[in-house]
Amino acid sequence: MGQEINSRGQRRKMREQQKKQKKPMKVWLKRLLIAVVSIGIVLFIAGAATFAYYAATSPDLDEELLKDPVSSQFYDSDGKVFYTMGLEKREHVAYEDIPKEMRDAILATEDVRFFSHHGIDFYRLGGAVLANLRKGFGAQGASTLTQQVIKNSFLQNEKTIKRKAQEAYLSIQLEREYSKEEIFEMYFNKVLMSGRIYGYGTASKYFYGKDLKNLKLEEMALLAGMSQLPNAYNPFKYPENAEKRRNTVLALMYKHKKITKEQMDKAKSVKVEVGLLPENKRKTASTSKYDAFIDVVLKELAENGDGKSLEEGIKVYTTLDSSAQKIVETTMNSDIFPTKDIKSGMAVVDTETGAIAAIGGGRNYGPERGLNYAEAIKNQPGSTMKPIMDYGPAIENLKYSTGQTITDDKMFYTGSTKQINNVDRLYKGDITLREALYTSRNVPAVKLLKEVGTDKAKKFISNLGVEADEIYESDAIGGGKISLSPIEMAGAYAAFGNNGIYTKPHSIKKIVYRDGKTAKSYTPDPTPAMNDYTAYMVTDMLRDVVGSKYDAPGTAAAIPGLDIAGKTGTTNYGADEFQKYNLPESSVPDSWFAGYSSKYSISVWSGYTNRKDPITTTDERLLPQRLFKTVMSQISANTTTPNFKKPNSVVEAKIVKGSKPLQLASSSTPADRTATELFVKGTIPTNTAPVEKEVEELIAPTDLKATFDDEANAINLTWAHKPPKDKSVNFEVSVSVDGGGNQKLTQTSDKAYTYGTPQDGKTYVFSIVAVADNERSAPASTSIQIQAAPPDEDEVTPPDETEQPEVPVTPEKPTEGENGGNQNGNNNPDNGSPPEDNNEAIRPDEDEDEEDVDTNATDDDTRNDNNNNQQ
C-alpha cells in the first residue's frame, strides 16, 4: 500500500517538474510574438512614412499631360535633335464613340476589374507580389489602366519602390478627380501602338483604313493586344507575332465572358493579314527625316525593354551620321535602279566602333509602310559568306597562307552523290587560296570548311555576330540555313577592317530618362573576334575582288584612290522554282555586295518583293556594287581614310604557285608561276624551288582590234599571235559590259571572233588570253563603244511611241555565275535541265533524295551574267 502511495507521489512530482519546464517555453514564445508584432509595427510605420514622403514629392496632376503623349527626343551623333516623337497627328476618340467590343477587348487584356477598383487592383497586386517573391522584384507587374495613364504622363519607366509608391498615390488621386470613362478615354488616345502611332483610333485608320466602328472582332482584338509590345506586334512587319497575340486577347475575352466560344473560334480562324491595308495604300505615320534609321532605333529600344519608355518622354542619343544618312537616302531615291520594282537595303557601319551611321531601308522609304530592307529581311548571303565561314577560320585556326595550295577538283557533299559544281562546271586544279577566294570557286570553299571543322567555324562566325544552331557543308558557299540582314553583314565585315575586333552594330549610344539624371548605356563592348593576321590576310585577298586582276568580279564597286575590300554574292533558285515560276535560265533571287574601308563597312542587298520575280540582267546584278560605290565614295570624300595597315604578325614571301608543300620561288622560277603572298609570322616555308632551265614564255596576243559592222550589227575582233615552238595555242575570248566583270565568251583556235547584237550606248571591253597546255598568257584588251545611229531625216517617231527592245540572240553555250549557280544556265550544259535546289543544306547522315540540296549554292560572279547581246 505504501509503495503504491509513493508511486502516486512520484508521478505528481514528475508532472509538476514538467509544468515548470513548459512555462519558460511559453514565455519565450510570447516574447517572440511581441517582438515580431513590434517589428511589424515599426516596418509599417517606416513604410507608411516612406510612402507619405514619396507621395508628398509626387508631381502634380496636369490635365494637358494626361491627355497628350509626352514627347521623346532623338539626337544624332553630333548631339543635335533630329526628331521629336509624340508630336504626330492622331485621331482623338471620345469614350461614347468607342465600340463596346473594343472596350471589352482592352479591359479583358489590360484591366478586367477597371470599373470596380479605385486605381489599384489589390487582387491582381497580390498575385504579382507572389510572382515577385518567386522570381525576384519586378518579375511581374500589376498596373491598372489608371496606373498606366499616370506612369505614361508623369513618371519614368523604372521598377523602383519610389516610382511604384508615387504611381499608386497619383492613381488614387486621378480616380478622385476624373470619372472612369474619362480615364479610359485618356488611356485609349495616348497609348503607343506601334512605331510612331498613338491611340487606338489612329491605329485603326493606319492598319485597316477605317473607323473603329467598322472594325471586326478579330481586328479589334489585334489592336487591343498591340499596346503591350508596340513594335513586336506590328502586323505589317511581324504578322506571326501579331496573330499569336490577337488569339491570346480573344481567349481572354472568352475567359471573362465578353464573347462566346463560337465567336472566339471564328475570329481565331481568320488569317491576321485579312483586312490589313495593302502596302500601296498605307500612309506614312509622320513626315520626319531619316525614317529608316528611326525604325532601327525603335526596334533596338524594344529589344532592350525600353519600347514603352517612349510614352514617358526620354532622350535617345543615337549614332546617326546625318550627312551620311542624307547621301544614302539621295542614292536610294535616285535613278540608279535599273527597274521600277527592284528593291534594295543598305547599312553603313563605322568600321572601328560598330556604330550604325546610316540606313537605307528601301526606295522612297516611309515609316512602317513596308519592310525595312536593311534590318527586317534576312536572306541567304551567297558568296559573301565565304570569307566569314571558310577563309577566315582557315587562316585563324590552321594559319594558312594566302598562297596555300588548294585543289579545285571533282567533289561530292559528304555522304551524298550530290556533286559540288563551280560556275563554269570546270575545275582549275591546284590554285592558291587567294585565287580561290577572289574568283569565288565553290569546291575550295567547301574543302576549307571541312578542313577547319564545323565546330571551329561555328565559333568563328559567332564571334562576328552570326549565330547558327548547326552548320552544313552548303553553308560554306552561302546556300545553307544561315540567313543575314545587311546590318549583320556590315557588322561582320567591319571586324576584318578593324584588326579583328568586332563590335555589335548598334544605333543607340545611350538613353536618358525623364528626370534628366538616370541614364542607360546602349554602347556594346568591343570583343576580339580573330587575330590581327587573320583580319589583314582576308582583307588583302578581298582587295583583289575589287581590283584589276583578270576575272575580278567586283570591279564595278572599285573606287580609285580609296583602299577598300569586298565580296560579291548571289543566291539561286531551286529546280522546282524554275519550273513553278517558269523562270529564265539566268534568274537569281538575290544579289549582294559587302565592302569596307578602314572607316566604313557597307553591305547592300538587292532583289524583288516576290520571290517569283527574278533578277535576270547584268544591270540588276551589279546594282549592289553601284550603290556601294556611290555611297562609299561620297561619304569618304571629305574625310581622311587610312589604308589598311599590315600588322607585325604578317610577313610576305614569293612562292611557287601550286607547290605542295609550298616552296619559295628561286631566281629561275618563271614569273607566271610565282606570286608574292602573305604568311603568319613564323610559318614561311624553308624549302626553295630548284633552279630551272629557262623555258620559252607564252606571250600575249598582239594587234587586237575591234570594229563595228553596222549592217550585220556585230563587233568583229581580230588579233595576231606568235606561238611557242611545238605547242598548239587556243585563245580564250572574254567581254566586260559597262564596267561589269569579265565573262567568258568562247575558246577558239582562230584569230578572229564575231560578237553579235551589241546594244547602243554600251561600252564593251574585250580580253584575249592565249592558252597552251597548262600555261596562260597575259591578256590583251581593247574597248569599243556602240553609238546609237541617228534617225533618218524623213522618219519621225511620235512622242508616245517607244521602240521595242530587240529579241536577244540565244548564246550557243550559256555562261554561268560565279558560285556554281545559275547565271546564264545553272544547268547541265549537255541536257539543258534546270539547276538543282540550292536552298536546303545537306546533312551528312541523310540520303540526298530526302532533301534536295544545293550543288551550286551561290551564284555570285556578275562577270558571267547572262548577256542578252552575246552571240
Question: Are 294 and 367 spatial neighbours (Cβ–Cβ below 8 Å)?
Answer: yes
501: Cβ–Cβ under 8 A, 6 or more apart, which residues? 352, 495, 526, 527, 528, 529
C-alpha cell at 507: 544605333
- Which H or E element spans position 594? strand 590-596
Instruction: Give the alpha-carbon dihedral of 618, 623, 624, 626, to 10 degrees.
Output: 110
Residue spans of alpha helices (H) in 561-698: 575-581, 618-635
Residue spans of alpha helices (H) in 374-515: 386, 392-398, 433-438, 442-452, 454-462, 486-497
Residue appearing with cell numbers 567555324: 457
Measure Cα distances from 157 to 32, 305, 307, 520 in Å: 41, 10, 10, 12
Q: Measured at the alpha carbon of residue 359, what is the angle toward residues 522 and 524, in degrees to the nearest 5?
A: 20
C-alpha cell at 639: 574625310
Measure Cα distances from 505 to 73, 298, 392, 526, 530 in Å: 22, 14, 20, 10, 17
Strands 780-785 and 763-772: antiparallel
- What is the torsional sign of CA 481, 483, 488, 491? positive
Q: Cα 265 to chain center, whole Å?
A: 36
Question: Are 128 and 140 spatial neighbours (Cβ–Cβ below 8 Å)?
Answer: yes
CA distance 83 to 289: 7
Catalytic residue among 383, 416, 736, 777: 383
The reply to whether 783 belongs to the active site is no
Nearest Cα to 782, choosing from 719, 704, 690, 860?
704
Measure Cα distances from 740 to 345, 591, 806 in Å: 21, 14, 21
The reply to whether 110 belongs to the active site is yes
Question: Are 575 and 582 spatial neighbours (Cβ–Cβ below 8 Å)?
Answer: no
- Scored b (16 or more CB within 10 A) or e, 408-426 reads beebebeebebebbbbbbe
Instruction: Give the alpha-carbon dihedral of 345, 349, 355, 360, to 10 degrees.
Output: -20
Catalytic residue among 101, 110, 218, 312: 110
Query: What residues are annotated to the active site?
Result: 110, 383
